[in-house]
């Protein structure tokens, strides 16, 4: 089978590529850079294309001869990007890609969205029927993008399936690494009570969920949440990580308003230099929003059951980081 994976240079995309190659599939991938794929860049069944999905000629090139498209590429969490850029990448490029895939005879289009489109979960757990209330430009355009591709699929009779991953963590994830490093220092700042919920899903489970969206019959036009077994509070998450890194971490609790002020000041300070601030208002969502989801539909229709619990997933990630550090002193 021949698959196209957009955003293959990213965290999730790189793991999906490894999984697909391991199954003997030919993989074509497009992204702006491929640093995460250095170890496999010369694989005989891998075709790397450095390109931009906002260019129509690139889209027409990459969809030819493909059986399944996994569309992961997106503009994500960068406060420096304009609203117009988010719109071009997350909505317009997605619609152009699904149209090109249909024209070139692709059998199925798996669109990787995000549970972020639901927004803050007021009454957890949320599911696929929960009303979406996105709160930032990323979430808004991801919702527009998934609606655009689903609408196209319905009108044209083309098989489109939407996956909404929860908070994906694991090896090669920069946000996971940053969280581990911060907690390993022995102090962790929490804005607010730390009682809000996060719903982690280990990368291997997230990849499996995406692959099931491409494999299962009679699910065209459906949306599926891909999450781990259970959500945890921020306080519980930090405690688990601190135990696994072997550090007694002290909590420093500050008011939410302090975090919002710090994040705004950092954004203003880094703006003249064109750099992404280490902490932004988007970062505050980690401490403000409830993210907890019901995966009953994915279990029933995809036969999706997460295999890696949080403690095991954190251990795997720490072990991978240690091996990488040893290999690259």
Q: What global pTM score does this model have?
A: 0.96
Mean pLDDT value across the chain = 95
Instruction: Sketch the domain layout of the chain as residue ranges.
Output: 2-170+199-228+292-308
User: In this predicted structure, what is the pLDDT of residue 78?
Assistant: 77
User: In this predicted structure, what is the pLDDT of residue 81?
Assistant: 86
C-alpha of 169 from chain center: 9
Q: Which residues pair with 70 in a beta bridge?
A: 5, 110
Asked if residues 264 and 79 have their Cβ atoms less than 8 Å apart, the reply is no
CA dihedral for 44, 209, 59, 93, sign (positive or negative)? negative
Burial profile 201-221: b = 16 or more Cβ within 10 angstroms, e = fewer = bbbbbbbbbbbbbbebeebbe
296: pLDDT strictly greater than 70: yes
Question: CA end-to-end span of the chain, whole Å?
Answer: 39
Q: Taking residues 82-95, report their average pLDDT.
A: 96
Burial profile 32-42: b = 16 or more Cβ within 10 angstroms, e = fewer = eebebbeebee
Structure-model confidence comparison of residues 300 and 57, the more confident one: 300
Q: Taking residues 57-79, report their average pLDDT.
A: 92
For 226-282, how does the pLDDT look when each residue is reduced to its tens digit (9 = 90+)? 999 999 999 999 999 999 999 888 889 999 999 999 999 998 998 888 788 888 988
User: In this predicted structure, what is the pLDDT of residue 325?
Assistant: 63
User: In this predicted structure, what is the pLDDT of residue 327?
Assistant: 52
Which ranges in the chain belong to alpha helices (H)? 11-22, 56-62, 83-87, 93-103, 137-156, 174-184, 203-215, 234-245, 256-270, 285-288, 296-297, 310-327
For 203-224, how does the pLDDT look when each residue is reduced to its tens digit (9 = 90+)? 999 999 999 999 999 999 999 9
The CATH topology of domain 2-170+199-228+292-308 is Rossmann fold (3.40.50)
Instruction: Give SS3 for 42.
Output: coil
Q: Taking residues 293-301, report their average pLDDT.
A: 98
């Amino acid at each position: 089978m021949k698959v196209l994976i957009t955003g293959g240079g990213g965290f999730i995309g790189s793991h999906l590529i490894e999984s697909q190659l391991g199954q003997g599939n030919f993989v074509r991938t497009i992204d702006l850079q491929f640093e995460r794929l250095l170890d496999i860049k010369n694989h005989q069944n891998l075709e790397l294309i450095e390109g931009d999905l906002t260019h129509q000629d690139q889209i027409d090139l990459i969809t030819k001869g493909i059986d399944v498209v996994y569309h992961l590429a997106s503009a994500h969490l960068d406060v420096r990007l304009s609203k117009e850029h988010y719109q071009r990448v997350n909505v317009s490029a997605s619609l152009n890609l699904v149209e090109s895939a249909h024209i070139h005879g692709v059998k199925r289009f798996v669109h990787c969205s995000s549970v972020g489109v639901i927004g803050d979960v007021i009454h957890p757990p949320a599911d696929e029927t929960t009303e979406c209330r996105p709160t930032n430009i990323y979430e808004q355009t991801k919702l527009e993008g998934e609606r655009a591709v689903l609408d196209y699929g319905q009108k044209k009779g083309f098989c489109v399936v939407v996956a909404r991953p929860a908070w994906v963590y694991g090896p090669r994830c920069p946000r996971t690494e940053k969280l581990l490093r911060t907690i390993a220092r022995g102090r962790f700042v929490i804005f607010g009570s730390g009682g809000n919920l996060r719903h982690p899903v280990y990368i291997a489970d997230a990849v499996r969920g995406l692959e099931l969206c491409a494999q299962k019959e009679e699910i065209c036009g459906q949306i599926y949440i891909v999450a781990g077994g259970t959500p945890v509070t921020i306080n519980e998450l930090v405690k688990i990580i601190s135990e696994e890194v072997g550090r007694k971490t002290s909590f420093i609790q500050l008011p939410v308003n302090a975090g919002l002020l710090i994040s705004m000041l950092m954004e203003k300070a880094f703006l003249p230099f064109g750099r992404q601030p280490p902490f932004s208002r988007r970062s505050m969502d980690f401490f403000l929003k409830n993210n907890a989801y019901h995966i009953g539909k994915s279990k029933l229709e995809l036969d999706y059951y997460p295999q890696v619990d949080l403690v095991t997933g954190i251990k795997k990630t720490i072990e991978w980081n240690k091996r990488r550090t040893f290999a690259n002193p």
